Amino acid sequence: MLTYHVELVPTEFALRMRPVFILSLVALMALVIGKFMIRDFWGAISLIFVVLMGLLVITGEYRVNASSACFFAVMAIVMAIFDVISCVLYFQHSKYKVGDPEAPWIVLLAQTVFVVSPVLLTLASLVSYSIFIDCNEHAQELWHRDGGVQSYDSLGVGPAGRAPAGGGPWGQGPAPPGRQAPPPFQGQGRRLDGND
């Protein structure tokens, strides 16, 4: 059975969410700087990898890569869970309360970074996941429209995928005009052990 990887074509919603997602990546980069300032080097390096994955979401053949958006959402939510644990541990071992006016500025910065980090990661993950879900649902509608599997080209959407000669990705449906569908297997079956 043949399988084809087809890039998900971004929807209007996904393209509208692109600037919001870029803004969330900028906020995450500011958070990376904050983590370096409070000397949370491992947290900053981990967050850099999440941001790099986010850059893959806004690159590619289209302006939004929905497949990478799914991976980014998973990475960001896992990182958010670890940051919640870091936040709890930080406040358990800190001698200052949240927003303590007697705390030095670096402590207030650390408190802000530890509280804001899981929130920003969760928001970025939700934006990314909403992009993926919308593109995926739109692709399902395109593939199952009119009761048959169709390619994006046949719907006039763009150069996302090419249907083989048999119509759909698995040779289903009528052949396009001017092309013949390949005949099904018509030979005799043989066994590998020589016993027919």
3-state helix, strand, coil in the chain (%, to 5): 60, 0, 40
Query: How does pLDDT run along the chain (196 residues), one tens digit per residue?
Result: 444 455 677 778 888 888 999 999 999 999 999 999 999 899 899 999 999 999 988 887 778 888 888 899 999 999 999 999 999 998 888 888 777 778 888 888 989 999 999 999 999 999 999 988 888 887 777 666 645 444 444 444 444 444 444 444 444 455 556 666 667 767 777 778 877 6
Whether residue 50 contacts residue 28, with contact meaning beta carbons closer than 8 Å, is answered with yes
Q: Rounded to a whole number, what is the largest CA-CA distance in the chain?
A: 89
Taking the chain, what is the end-to-end CA distance rounded to the nearest angstrom? 24
Q: Which two tokens stand for residue 29?
A: 């980069």
Whether residue 142 contacts residue 8, with contact meaning beta carbons closer than 8 Å, is answered with no
pTM: 0.67
Long-range CB pairs of 164-172, under 8 A, 24+ apart, other chains included: 164/2, 169/2, 169/3, 169/4, 170/1, 170/2, 171/2, 172/148
